Amino acid sequence: MKLSKLIEGLDILKIEGDVDKEISRIVYDSRRAVPGSLFVCIDGFKTDGHKYIQSAMDNGAVAFLVQKDVPVLENMTVIKVPDTRYALAHVSAAFFEHPSEHFTLIGVTGTKGKTTVTYMIKSILEQAGQTVGLIGTVANIIGSERIPAQRTTPESLDLQEMFSNMKEKGADAVVMEVSSQGLKLNRVGAITFDVGVFTNLSEDHIGGNEHPDMEDYLKSKIKLFSMSKRGLINIDSEYAGRVLAESRCPCMTFGIENKADVYAEDIVTHADSVEFTVKTPWFGGRVKVSVPGRFTVYNALAAIGVAGMLGMGFEHAVNGLKNIHIPGRAEIVPTPGKPYTVMIDYAHTPDSLRNILSTVKEFVPNRLISVFGCGGDRDRGKRPQMGKISGKIADFTIITSDNPRTEDPMAIIRDIEEGIKQTDGQYIIIEDRTEAIRYAMSIAKEGDIIVLAGKGHETYQIFKDKTIHYDEREIVKEILESME
């Protein structure tokens, strides 16, 4: 495609050189440049792409998108823009000929529930016979093809290529998790969502390379509603007022506590599911979701709301939710013949640990056994908090490891112990995660529920010197076999 066509409509500060060139490929990593490439210089957290112009040229790049002044050599085309991240999104969308205009695009943002809501929407739309693409934390999926995900929201160039792939595969709709980083860094720039969903907001992703403060975090989330045709907002969220006031599109609401367009009544929780009556402007009735917990009601309402907004029938929502399975989210692992239950959940923050443990505590017939650790090289402050939460809610806690990275696993465990010591919760420390799970299963009695928190869908454990394959579902199966 001609460079002039790629930059059509882009906010440009300065052009030097010829824009009539044919562009063979767009790259933001100079090592991937090939003859005829357009190299987009991103000033990132680790390094600055403007430093690699020569290397991109050596590989054949002919045009450069920059946001800083750089020396212009012969035969180079240099285009200066205010923000190369946004420009990358713009030229990528143009390069792939705006693939997302060919399907219904749904974006889900919020601190918690993004993965769950996207899986629920996908399931409902599939009930209605649609081919649905999914983009998010766990994997990117189109039809039966699975591509493991690198990050929750891919870089704009990779995202547009994925859209293009999904369009080729006949997607009627694509549901994607939109992280606040994805919004802030314009990974979803130059895209219009048919529906944007706001699940909730709590303190997370603040500090480091992410968001300086809560306001920045909220503002990033709200950005989705200047890129969507319609919005669906959780009215019970503390921040709903701000989102509704600052969104630039018409919005509908969902909730339980406050009056909403889509709301739930007569909620009944079970050990493995939750049931409620949903009322909406389009349809209403009893719904059962095969994931436990009150937060599941919120996630389901979001998905049902989107279904209604897109004109789906009530039966599609009911059928889409009744057997829904979300990898690593309150996932029950089969333990045939055993009188106890093992549940895997991705909870790895204080909030989500509290959520999952208190949810299970509500219906556990006997004891709640919690097994968890905290990641190394990550926020230390959350370790004692999580220790305290487990000590207060669980009947017994096994503190173990969860991606220690470069830290000493026992040092992390001692930080967690600080918190649990402040409660009268009983606990034991078993550094090796497999041994910790084995111990939990060996002491579990009839009616106990073991919650393995932290790993969820992940299939690895990261240590100082190595990363090993680690799939908790397989571990539980192996332990069961060794117990025979």
Annotated binding site: 30, 110-116, 152-153, 179, 187, 378, 402-405, 454, 458
For residues 17 and 293, which CB has a smaller minimum distance to ligand ADP in the complex?
Answer: 293
For residues 70 and 139, which CB has a smaller minimum distance to ligand ADP in the complex?
Answer: 139
For residues 115 and 296, which CB has a smaller minimum distance to Mg ion in the complex?
Answer: 115
Establish if 402 lies at the interface with ligand ADP (CB under 6 A).
no
Return left, alpha or beta for 463; rule: phi > 0 is left, psi -120 to 50 is alpha, else beta: beta
> Which residues inside 274-333 make contact with ligand ADP, applying CB under 6 A?
295, 298-299, 329
Which residue of 115, 123, 228, 390 would you call a contact of ligand ADP, by CB under 6 A? 115
Annotated binding site for meso-2,6-diaminopimelate: 378, 402-405, 454, 458
Shortest CB 192 distance to ligand ADP, Å? 22
Establish if 113 lies at the interface with ligand ADP (CB under 6 A).
yes
Binding mask 224-253 for ligand ADP (x = CB under 6 A): ------------------------------
User: What residue ranges bind Mg ion (CB under 5 A)?
Assistant: 114-115, 137
**Bridge partner list, 65:** 40, 79
* Nearest residue to Mg ion on Cβ basis: 137
Total number of residues binding ligand ADP (CB under 6 A)? 19
Which residue of 100, 140, 200, 341 would you call a contact of ligand ADP, by CB under 6 A? 200
Shortest CB 200 distance to ligand ADP, Å? 6
Shortest CB 177 distance to Mg ion, Å? 5
- The number of beta carbons lying within 10 Å of the beta carbon of residue 245 is 8
What SS3 class is residue 471? coil
Shortest CB 253 distance to ligand ADP, Å? 15
Residue 23 contact among Mg ion, ligand ADP, none, beta carbon within 5 to 8 Å by kind: none
Return left, alpha or beta for 281; rule: phi > 0 is left, psi -120 to 50 is alpha, else beta: alpha
Shortest CB 464 distance to ligand ADP, Å? 26
Annotated binding site for ATP: 110-116
Establish if 114 lies at the interface with ligand ADP (CB under 6 A).
yes
Selection from 273, 423, 277, 455 nearest residue 362 by Cα = 273
Selection from 400, 397, 341, 399 nearest residue 366 by Cα = 341
Give the tokens for residue 144: 């039966």
- The number of beta carbons lying within 10 Å of the beta carbon of residue 110 is 27
> Which residues inside 161-190 make contact with ligand ADP, applying CB under 6 A?
177
> Which residues inside 327-386 make contact with ligand ADP, applying CB under 6 A?
329, 345-347, 352, 355-356
CA 221 vs CA 82, 179, 241, 306: distances in Å: 22, 8, 13, 18
For residues 156 and 299, which CB has a smaller minimum distance to ligand ADP in the complex?
Answer: 299
What SS3 class is residue 368? strand
Longest dimension (CA), the chain: 77
DSSP structure string for 2-70: BHHHHTTT---SEEES-S--B--EEESSGGG--TTEEEE--B-SS-BGGGGHHHHHHTT--EEEESS--
Shortest CB 305 distance to ligand ADP, Å? 13
> Which residues inside 93-112 make contact with ligand ADP, applying CB under 6 A?
112
For residues 346 and 439, which CB has a smaller minimum distance to ligand ADP in the complex?
Answer: 346
Which residue of 37, 116, 164, 403 would you call a contact of ligand ADP, by CB under 6 A? 116
For residues 87 and 347, which CB has a smaller minimum distance to ligand ADP in the complex?
Answer: 347
Selection from 143, 118, 140 nearest residue 132 by Cα = 143
- What amino acid is encoded at 221 in this protein? K
**Bridge partner list, 139:** 148
Give the tokens for residue 145: 């093809």
Residues near ligand ADP (CB under 6 A): 112-116, 137, 177, 199-200, 295, 298-299, 329, 345-347, 352, 355-356
